[in-house]
Amino acid sequence: MENTSLENRLDYEPRTETIEEPTHGVHIGLLGNYSDSDETRILLTPEACGLITSAGIPVSMESGAGVDISFTDDDYARYGVKIVSREQALHCNVVLSFLPLRANDIRKMNKGAALLCMMGSTIFETETIKALLDMHISAGCLDNMMSHHDVPIFADIIDEIDGRSAIMYAEDALSYLGGGKGVLLGGVTGLNPCEVIVIGTGTSAVAAANAAINTGARVVLMDNDISALHQNKRLCHPSVELVAIHPRVLANHVKAADVIITGPTSNPFEFPKNLSGSLKETVYILDLTETHPSVSVPRTVAMALSNPLVNFINEMAIKNDFKGMISTTPGVQCGMVTYEGRLVDKLVGSYTSLPSVDIRVMLSASN
- What percent of the chain has pLDDT above 70? 93
pLDDT-derived band at 367 (thresholds 50, 70, 90) equals low
Q: Give the pLDDT score at 3.
A: 45
Q: Which residue, of 273, 293, 313, is where some domain finishes? A: 293
86 and 194 together in one domain: no
285 and 301 together in one domain: no
* Residues 96-118, mean pLDDT to the nearest whole number: 97
Q: Which residue has the higher pLDDT, 24 or 299?
A: 299
Helix (H) or strand (E) holding 61: strand 59-62
* Residues 177-196, mean pLDDT to the nearest whole number: 89
Q: Is residue 350 part of a domain?
A: yes
Q: Which residue, of 264, 293, 322, is where some domain finishes? A: 293
- The Cα–Cα gap between 154 and 226 comes to 27
| pTM of structure | 0.90
pLDDT at 12 exceeding the cut of 80: no
Residues belonging to the chain: 367
pLDDT-derived band at 276 (thresholds 50, 70, 90) equals confident
45 and 125 together in one domain: yes
Task: Provide the residue range defining the domain that includes 212.
Answer: 157-293
118 and 162 together in one domain: no
173 and 138 together in one domain: no
11 and 144 together in one domain: yes
Give the three-state DSSP class for 28.
strand
236 and 325 together in one domain: no
Q: Give the pLDDT score at 356.
A: 95
24 and 120 together in one domain: yes
pLDDT at 166 exceeding the cut of 60: yes
Q: Give the pLDDT score at 190.
A: 87
Q: Give the pLDDT score at 22.
A: 44
* Residues 117-138, mean pLDDT to the nearest whole number: 96
Q: Give the pLDDT score at 95.
A: 98
pLDDT at 297 exceeding the cut of 60: yes
Q: Is residue 2 part of a domain?
A: no
pLDDT in tens, 51-62: 999 999 999 999
141 and 27 together in one domain: yes
Please answer whether residues 70 and 136 qualify as being in contact, where contact means their C-beta atoms are separated by less than 8 angstroms. no
pLDDT at 18 exceeding the cut of 80: no
pLDDT at 365 exceeding the cut of 70: yes
Give the three-state DSSP class for 31.
coil
pLDDT at 9 exceeding the cut of 50: no
* Straight-line distance from the first to the last Cα atom of the chain, in angstroms, rounded to the nearest whole number: 47
Q: Which residue, of 243, 278, 293, is where some domain finishes? A: 293
Q: Give the pLDDT score at 21.
A: 46
Sequence-distant (6+) residues with CB within 8 A of 277 are none
pLDDT-derived band at 366 (thresholds 50, 70, 90) equals confident
Q: What is the mean pLDDT of the chain?
A: 92
309 and 260 together in one domain: no
Number of domains in the chain: 2
* Residues 298-308, mean pLDDT to the nearest whole number: 98
Give the three-state DSSP class for 157.
helix
CATH for 11: 3.40.50.720
Half-sphere exposure of 105 (CA within 13 A, CB side): 23
pLDDT-derived band at 15 (thresholds 50, 70, 90) equals very low
Q: Is residue 1 part of a domain?
A: no
136 and 161 together in one domain: no
288 and 335 together in one domain: no
Helix %, strand %, coil % for the chain, to 5?
40, 15, 45
Q: Which residue has the higher pLDDT, 150 or 8?
A: 150
